[in-house]
Amino acid sequence: MSGWVDVHYQALEECGKRARKVANMLDLDDAFEGTKSSAPTGQTSSKTFGALKDSGDLATDVDKVWRALEEELQAGKSRLNSVEKAIDQVETNLRKAAKASGG
């Protein structure tokens, strides 16, 4: 029975590692690594869009989209970190239970 339980521990550990790996990938700064581009800082200028009519509104909308993207990625990262912690807790509890039962 011990071998069967060890396989499950390994599966839990692997799930936790993958959750951590994906969480670490949800970083906007990483999206620009190795490129000549950089993440926007401050507010988008309407001048970015030249003389387009309503370029100010467009710049405002770009900023809204960027903030929403940042918030969503941060929320995803937070959830994946919680998943990793929960998986670790499950593994810890299983090991304690197995030890308490003499397994």
DSSP states of 16-59 as a string?
HHHHHHHHHH--HHHHTTTSS-----SPPPGGGGTT-TTHHHHH
**Encoded tokens for 13:** 């550990």
Q: What is the pLDDT of residue 16?
A: 94
Distance CA 95, CA 2 (A): 11
Q: Three-class SS of residue 102?
A: coil
**Between vectors from CA 9 to CA 5 and to CA 11, what angle results, nearest 5°?**
115
What pLDDT band is residue 6 in, cutting at 50, 70 and 90? low
Assessment of whether the complete model's pTM goes beyond 0.85: no
Do residues 90 and 13 touch, judged by C-beta distance below 8 A?
no
Tally of domains in the chain? 1
Instruction: Dump pLDDT digits (tens) for 64-101.
Output: 999 999 999 999 999 999 999 999 999 999 888 888 88
Instruction: Dump pLDDT digits (tens) for 18-64.
Output: 999 999 888 877 777 888 888 788 899 999 888 888 999 999 999 99
Domain assignment of residue 93, given as a range:
2-100
Q: What is the pLDDT of residue 7?
A: 62
Query: Taken in order 11, 13, 16, 20, is the CA torsion positive or negative?
Result: negative
Q: What is the pLDDT of residue 103?
A: 62
Q: What is the pLDDT of residue 82?
A: 97
